[in-house]
Amino acid sequence: MYADMVSAASVWAVAAQRLQQRNEASYRQWGCKLVPVRLGSSNELVLGVDDDFFGEWVATYFCDMLTDALRDIDGVSYSFSFEAGHAPAPVPPVRESKPKAATTALHRPSGVPRRGPNYSFSNFVVCEANRYAFTVVKDVVERPGFYNPLFLYGLSGCGKTHLLRAAEAEAADNGLRVRYAACSELLDEFYKLLQNKGDLNEFRASLRDVDILLIDDVHVLAGKTQLQEEFFKLFNFLYSRGQQIVLTSDKQPCEIHGLEDRLITRFESGMTSEVNMPEVEGRFAILRMMRDEAFVKVRLDDTILQFLAEQISSSVRRLKGAFMRLATVASMRNNTRITVEQAEQLLAAQLGKESSARDIPMDLIQRLVADRFGLTVADIRGNRRPRNIAEPRMVAMYLCRTMTKHSLPEIGVAFNKTHATILNAVNKVPELCAHDDTLRRTVQQLEHQLKRG
């Protein structure tokens, strides 16, 4: 066993050095968190990770980089796998934290309100869709400057602002100087100063004199040349001094059209993490928490909460709004029990919008699947049955069924197949994903891409 450990460690030492030389920021982001465990059969290096979620994240986004690093080490090219339950050795902070003195003042310009009381890490429902983002946000509060910058992206209403506000609250409680701002607010403040020939130095100081800067919806910078120039200087100033920067957006940096390349590369230089909409179980947990924390006892039973969790999947904000609508009606009716039928009537508009949000064109799904698997749309719609075509075709059928409101016969027409063939694909794809991690990750990535539009 000792010999195996030494051998695994020596292989990983070479690979880790290559990763570090190729991209120092990327290595600090995830490479230094991998632990060499043992060498398995067929030259497989088993790497230890904290949990399965982190392992899947690395395999999804950095598979090629890791494969290259393990290629031709003393004449041998190694494959890799992950084993959960291994914590990496502690890594010292990049810089010393400032003393947590009780007198530490928070810089908050006039007119910027203190955070609301409802945002905290304790009332953020953690599930598979947001677990990694939650972990790294907590980490940057405890060790400012380690993941720098931290860039969170995902659809509107999935919890990014909650995480930023929770980080703001925690950092303030820890005695750190912290500033939260929506990018649109910065834009307004910046242009007002320009119009009124105000003092830009005060504006700059309000953003520079911090330990942690939290900027929400940074995609608002797109096309704003003057503010991008100002933000570029701000970023360089904070980054060079190890001050933590956390940004959110509805897109990845490279997807923000109208953003200068020099900002894109800087935003991508640290940790990037997606925040997805919670699954049904997570949405149900959010609703139960809302019910438990309501100021008055709310007569909405689990059947109603489950109905909401299943029907509303586009936004946590819409989910909470639907809950508040039903809770208010129940209260006005002396807290009488609301049935599912009544909930459908009361929420007709919201549920209609939800249905429209899922109305993704089937030809778009076919094109995306074809592109992902290196096929043509004709392959996806055709009758050839080799595995490299049959599986992607089933994935496309599955996505058309789960992400649109079309019936089985309608999907059958789009693929020139019977509804029985479509049903078989819908049932088969989850089984295939359960035994094939690569396929499962591919399906998840396609789902996220379709949701982002």
What phi and psi values does residue 48 have, to the nearest 5 degrees?
-85, 140
CATH code for the structural domain at 362-452:
1.10.1750.10
Model pLDDT, residue 129: 81
Distance CA 379, CA 395 (A): 13
Model pLDDT, residue 297: 63
Distance CA 417, CA 51 (A): 41
Domain 280-357 has CATH 1.10.8.60: yes
Mean pLDDT, to the nearest integer, of 284-312? 82
Model pLDDT, residue 189: 86
47 forms beta bridges with: 36, 82
Pick the CATH number of 131-274 from 3.30.420.40, 3.40.50.300, 3.20.20.150, 3.40.50.2300: 3.40.50.300
- Domain limits of the chain? 2-84, 131-274, 280-357, 362-452
Asked whether the CA dihedral 410, 411, 415, 417 is positive or negative, the reply is negative
The CATH T-level fold of domain 2-84 is GMP Synthetase; Chain A, domain 3 (3.30.300)
Q: Is the pLDDT of residue 116 over 80?
A: no
Distance between alpha carbon 37 and the CA centroid of its chain, in Å?
A: 29
| Half-sphere exposure for 154 (CA within 13 Å, toward CB) | 22
Query: pLDDT, tens digit, for every residue of 235-262?
Result: 999 999 999 999 999 888 888 888 999 9
pLDDT band at 27 (very low <50, low <70, confident <90, very high): confident
CA–CA distance from 296 to each of 286, 326, 331, 419 (Å)? 17, 14, 9, 49
Q: Do domains 2-84 and 362-452 have the same CATH topology?
A: no
CA–CA distance from 318 to each of 212, 224, 357 (Å)? 30, 30, 12
Mean pLDDT, to the nearest integer, of 264-273? 91
Q: Is the pLDDT of residue 83 over 60?
A: yes
Mean pLDDT, to the nearest integer, of 308-328? 86
